Structure 1
Amino acid sequence: MINQLLSKYCLVLTCFYLFTITVESDDWPQWRGNDRSGNWNESGIIESFPAGGPKLRWSASIGSGYSGPSVSNGKVFVMDRLVKPLGAGGAKDLHDGNPPRNINFVRKLLPGSERILCLNEKDGSLLWCREWDCSYTTVEAYAIGPRVTPTVDAERVYSLGAEGNLFCHNVNDGKKIWSRDFKKDFGLKIPEWGVSAHPLVYENKLLCVVGGDESTVVAFDKMNGKELWSSLSSKQPGYCPPVVHELGGKKQLLIWHSDALEALNPTDGSVYWSVQIKPTYSMSISQPVVSGNRVYIMSFNRVSACIEVSENGDSAKIAWRGNTRKGIAGVHNTPVIVDGHIYACGSGGRYTCATLADGKKLWTTYAPFKRDRPINWGNVFTVKQGDRYFLANDLGEIIIAKLKPSGYKEISRAKLIEPTHKVSGRMLVWSHPAFANRSIYLRNDREIRCYDLSKL
């Protein structure tokens, strides 16, 4: 009798254990997920979208911005901007003499405030909000709000505004733990399109692309904001997020600024190697991606390159440079490398597959935009999920697709949010979605939405 009871008890425990494993879900605590790889590792995800699109779990009103959401431990974090009314004379021009003729470079003083919001993951209700005055000095056409996705680490969330205001808040009540001001503390001259590099937690440090003399990258103590080390000087800090990879048997912090791609020891900021690759207009936006001992980078105006790192990790050289015939020169998105093949959205919305070995283009398509010609500033974010991909185009659509060296195959698509930002005569959304809890979280300049993507 006792043996029978013990057997039943063990069976119940086993079933409970298996059930908890089955329903366990992943968080998305920072830019591009857990390890910045752009991989969504959850199972139990829909094979295709149902007629009429996936179920909307909730939506919440927010202000404008590019900041993508992060999701951690039942909370959703996102940044936005609230605009203050302009005076009778309008926004103040910030140029000496006549402003540039190209609106993509016209800077103005724009009053307003920035915020970090913490929402309940279950229903989108506001748990707490912190706001600070922040007049923008960036290019007016793109000065809609913060660029950076909040980074969550245990009980702390780190946010970084477009004018260099760095905050660490308690995730539970929003209490400020510490803050830094890149302009006051490091003499940062705000780049044309604002501070954009997502902070990275590494061991006991918060690694930030800052700017200024000998402070292109700074390591802060993640607990109190104290500067631990600073390194590198550059004309501009660029917009590229820091990322740590193992290369040549060493952990290497990759920083791509206006003048070069450089690899540092994340422990003390010492430089392992430097390769001179200058992004056009300092637009190093796309995160460097690594496969084996190779690093791939891409930027605006046909700039792309594959860098080969030595076996001991102490030096590097350019394996090949991209041009009109090879490589992918994407602007706002980050490539994905799978089995020696690069997948990314290039200029004009050209979604492309190229070989990492030599940059040869295997195919190019405009299918994510349902067209057969270029689209101004067309962008697609790529997230790998198992053996398929979730693509987020800038029209507010999510596409499930198969990407292989043999070609692009679309499985399903659904429009999940309206594009609200006008660029080059069309409306778009340039915010990277988050994928967690078998759901997608995405925003525009008016609201943030959460859709259920679980398999029924």
Structure 2
Amino acid sequence: MRPYTISSIVLLSAVCVTTVVVGEDWPQWRGTHRDAVLRETGLIKELPAGKLQHKWSAPIGAGYSGPTVAEGRVYVTDHGDGNEDKEVERVLCFDANTGQELWKHSYDVNYTISYRAGPRASVTIDDGKAYSVGAMGNFFCFDAATGEILWKRDLATDYNARMPIWGITTAPLIYEDTVIQIAAGEKDACVVAMDRSTGKEVWHALDEHAGYSSPILIKQGDQDVLVCWTGESVSGLNPKNGDVFWSIPMLPRNMPIGVPTPVVQDDKLFVSSFYDGSMLIRLHHDRPAAEKLWHRVGIDEKNTDALHCTA
């Protein structure tokens, strides 16, 4: 596999990286609130003419995870330097100002998935800990500064995972004293919550096939709601115990392939999938409840009768 460099990733987020010491961190997938909003002030509105000068570069292997930035450090995962007999995933940490490698952890992995070029999920940083999950469900909690392993889990084994075709892609989500992860497990364990200090299970939920979309937190009334877009539904769960508040079916036409993170604006939640179309959901502001407004699926080139819209 041909390696790429972290400079090509970081350069696209140059403002975030060059201001990391005094500006806003980007400690998890899609930022602090998982909404892809940069709240930093004093941002440039136009790029300067000519070639942008990057601060540093560091070679890494193949992979799909976006970098995260916290406390002056950059975290990313890759497909490391294995040999012909084994594959290796790595979690890497760099100094955000110099690009110096601060620590790395590598582990053997046996890919049984498509698109084998590395792990998918961004590393989540919270309260001095770094949480990472590999494409086959290898879950680690590290000391974010030193790389010391605090605890680890093999989610695929622990939950007898019904592994998605392209593996585990969803980034860990911190809620209070738990870390929540799409585990793709059987027997009501599509989603699991683990104690963030020990890795011990707190709850598991949903007897559904997993998708690829990372869960988010929203507020409905005074209640925190965990929104999970799985391979079969868009559901709102109680993040404290996994109880289902509401669930709207979104069954796959060919295979689960929902990838983007749900987008929320006011009382609307939107998801969009390659095969299965787009759905708009109305969220109740006063209580944890929701209803489908519409679901539109486009024309399948192999089945021209597939265009439909349901309300």
TM over 0.5: yes
Contact 1:248 1:293 (8 Å CA) reproduced: no
Alignment check: 8 A CA contact 2:252 2:276 kept: no
How much has 1:287 moved relative to structure 2? 1.0
In structure 1, what is the Cα distance between the partners aligned to 2:285 and 2:268?
Answer: 11
- 2:257 corresponds, among 270, 273, 283, to 283
Map of 1:78 onto structure 2:
76
Work out the number of aligned pairs and report it: 278
Q: Distance in 1 between matches of 2:151 and 2:252?
A: 33
Q: Report if the CA contact (8 A) 2:156-2:183 is conserved.
A: no
Matched, 1:194 2:155: no
Work out the percentage of aligned pairs sharing the same amino acid: 36
CA contact (8 A) 2:164 2:184 kept: no
Residue from 270, 283, 301 that aligns with 1:296? 270
Deviations 1:112-145 (Å, cap 9, x if unpaired)?
Answer: 1001001011111100111100121101xx2100
Runs of 5+ consecutive residues of structure 2 not aligned to the other structure = 1-20, 300-308
Matches within 5 A, 1:310-349: 310-324=284-298
Counterpart of 1:120 (choices 72, 92, 95) is: 95
Secondary structure in 2 aligned to 1:184? helix
Structure 1 residue 293 displacement after superposition: 2.2
String of CA shifts for 1:228-261, please: whole Å, max 9, x gaps. 1111111x21111011101244211001111111
The residue number in structure 2 matching 1:431 is: none
For 1:323 and 1:162, the matched residues in 2 are separated by 29
Equivalent position SS for 2:156: helix
Q: Report deviation, 1:55.
A: 1.9
1:50 to 26, 48, 51: 48
What do you get for the CA RMSD once the two structures are aligned? 1.8
Query: How far apart, CA to CA, are the structure 2 residues paired with 1:53 and 1:198?
Result: 33
Aligned to 1:99: none
> 2:158 aligns to what SS in structure 1?
helix
Amino acid at match of 2:69: V
Superposition deviation, residue 52 in structure 1: 2.1
- In structure 2, distance between residues paired with 1:302 and 1:261: 13
* Residue of structure 1 equivalent to 2:125: 152
Letter in 2 for 1:288: P
Q: Which protein has the larger Cα radius of gyration, Structure 1 or Structure 2? A: 1
Aligned counterparts of 1:45 and 1:122: Cα–Cα separation in 2? 19
User: Is 1:166 paired with 2:139?
Assistant: yes
Structure 1 274/127 Cα, relative in aligned 2: closer, same or farther at 3 Å? Answer: same
**Paired residue type of 2:283:** V
Matches within 5 A, 1:3-18: none
Shift in Å, 1:324: 4.5
1:203 aligns with 2:176: yes
Question: 2:35 corresponds to which letter in structure 1?
Answer: S
The residue type equivalent to 2:233 in the other structure is A
* Structure 1 residue 323: Cα displacement: 4.0
Distance 2:22 2:147 in 1: 27
Unpaired runs of at least 5, structure 1: 1-22, 88-110, 326-357, 359-456
- Matched to 1:55, the amino acid is Q
What code does the residue aligned with 1:28 have?
Answer: W
C-alpha change, 1:324 and 1:258, in structure 2 (3 Å) is closer
1:183 CA drift (Å): 1.5
| Per-residue Cα deviation, 1:200-223 (whole angstroms, up to 9, x for no partner) | 011111011112221111111111
* Structure 2 counterparts to residues 48-447 of structure 1, below 5 A: 48-82=46-80, 84-86=82-84, 111-139=86-114, 142-212=115-185, 213-234=187-208, 236-280=209-253, 281-301=255-275, 303-324=277-298
The superposition leaves residues 268-310 of structure 1 with CA deviations (integer Å, 9 ceiling, x where unpaired) of 1111011011245201211112122221111112511111133
Partners of 1:44 and 1:54 in 2: CA distance: 19
Aligned to 2:304: none
Question: C-alpha displacement at 1:37, in angstroms?
Answer: 0.8
Q: TM-score scaled to structure 1, two decimals?
A: 0.59
Query: Larger relative contact order (C-alpha < 8 A, sep ≥ 6)?
Result: 1
- In the alignment, the residues of structure 2 paired with residue 191 and residue 276 of structure 1 have an alpha-carbon distance, to the nearest angstrom, of 18
Name the amino acid aligned to 1:56.
Answer: H
Which residue identity is paired with 2:72?
Answer: G
Query: CA 1:83–1:300 in 2, change beyond 3 Å: closer, same or farther?
Result: farther
Equivalent residue of 2:77, what SS? strand
